[in-house]
Structure 1
């Protein structure tokens, strides 16, 4: 038997599940980053919760969250016993919490989505296959003209437009219809917070014009995650993104952090670029839609 513990308090969640999350901080990066952020900033919901899964002897054996601020408010699940993933679906159904998307670790996300679909008489299908990678030894790419520079408030309009375009372009590059993705771009206040925190960078061409964007999450349990990475179509093919990612990766590693990132498995270009920089696969995940 497993027990599902829900809370809307990120501090309480981290107190309960923190040691479990810290044991594999790369695998758990999305949940830990969101939980640490939520201690000081309002995020998401409703619905909104953090989940700790305990075994019969009280050990933490899984975790998850539902904190997305936009529809369809997907669940995000970390590894947990199969029984817990199915029990979670039943618990949400029993309390009438509509759930149309489940993201995260396999097989937990697949099992939860399948049970939700069974309970509602629908079906679940994979929308995006993702892969988490960690940087081992950084391999510098061939140099591109220009330099890496921290973004400034003057870049906010451009960055906001680029982040929105990034979501649509990512779908297109993976062979999906533009705008069909399950992710919503950060809003302007969030982007401004990232700029102020020094977590967004631009690659500048020799004239000082921004030509590529790279961001990172605040380190959580010693892990920082690269996201987003975007180069406008007219600027591609010059190695700007590779050099920018390498530069940001170096900065994060030099500060003592482990560095990771996600790729869309359907996008061979990005997977090839990151592999060449020294990023190695850690685990495959998936985003499911319940239809």
Structure 2
């Protein structure tokens, strides 16, 4: 397999999009990131040296895509493609002296990459999260709480920042308040965060739209504060946002869940999301 690094995410997207779209929902992470980087490239966005995107493609002998490697430092390496080329990709990345704190992608591919990476670096690996990727094409007809879905606005920055901190604390890794605030301000400016307000106008749950691909869009940042949990607000919020996005013209919505969080998995399946693939994220310690 011939692996090549590219300076243009736009060029890479042109090369691999057709291949990745065959399993579009499953490949929402690399597709979404490449689409975002393409937009930034079109706007001539500049990056700090340490945050320069790393993008590479491995081609098989017949010229088809074998593997795609994508990293936006300081975050983990995203990989997708054929499991047979995982160790070869690990060796190529190692020879490039590319620092990767971890790796995320489809379970069989990632696990084979991790095995190859550990042989090369003698690092230790730790499973950070086992996830399930879900896809929804139509929202189920389910009971919903009264209220309305609306965009989060500048007036909501303090509340949404706090909720975002709690979300990261519970679902991912802790994030400091300043990082959370900058993240929220950016998302609100782009109309990407939504709040479900109950019939009294009180904010009780939130969700966000995230990565977009040709036909689909990802829902993320689903959070309901403790005092409003187990009342159907998360279900209502996700169902309403899924409806909203499908009405915009997307063919499907997708999302990730922590396999260990049975509550969230049950909520999404109730709304109409169906599991399509297993994803896993590993962290490395050198």
The verdict on a shared fold, with TM-score over 0.5 as the criterion, is yes
Q: d(CA) in 1 for partners of 2:181 and 2:11?
A: 29
Matches within 5 A, 1:1-291: 2-41=1-40, 42=45, 45-46=50-51, 48-67=53-72, 69-70=73-74, 73-82=75-84, 84-170=85-171, 179=173, 187-257=180-250, 258-291=252-285
Q: d(CA) in 2 for partners of 1:65 and 1:4?
A: 13
User: Contact between 2:83 and 2:108, CA under 8 Å: does it hold in 1?
Assistant: no
Q: Which has the higher helix share?
A: 2
User: Contact between 1:74 and 1:99, CA under 8 Å: does it hold in 2?
Assistant: yes
Structure 1 unaligned regions, length at least 5? 172-178
1:161-213: per-residue Cα shift (whole Å, max 9, x none)?
21121011125xxxxxxx479xx997544433432333211011222221111
Secondary structure class of the residue paired with 1:244: helix
TM-score if structure 2 supplies the norm length? Answer: 0.88
Distance 1:218 1:95, change over 3 A: closer
Q: d(CA) in 1 for partners of 2:190 and 2:167?
A: 21
Q: d(CA) in 2 for partners of 1:165 and 1:236?
A: 14
1:107-131: per-residue Cα shift (whole Å, max 9, x none)?
1111111111111223333221011
User: Contact between 1:132 and 1:261, CA under 8 Å: does it hold in 2?
Assistant: yes
Aligned residues: 277
TM-score if structure 1 supplies the norm length? Answer: 0.87
Q: d(CA) in 2 for partners of 1:85 and 1:185?
A: 37
Secondary structure class of the residue paired with 2:236: helix
User: Contact between 1:13 and 1:52, CA under 8 Å: does it hold in 2?
Assistant: yes
Q: d(CA) in 1 for partners of 2:34 and 2:179?
A: 17
Secondary structure class of the residue paired with 2:81: coil
Q: d(CA) in 2 for partners of 1:94 and 1:5?
A: 12
Q: d(CA) in 1 for partners of 2:83 and 2:278?
A: 17
Q: d(CA) in 1 for partners of 2:111 and 2:77?
A: 12
Q: d(CA) in 1 for partners of 2:261 and 2:255?
A: 14
1:55-114: per-residue Cα shift (whole Å, max 9, x none)?
0121113323111x43xx3111113242x2112211222232233311111211111111
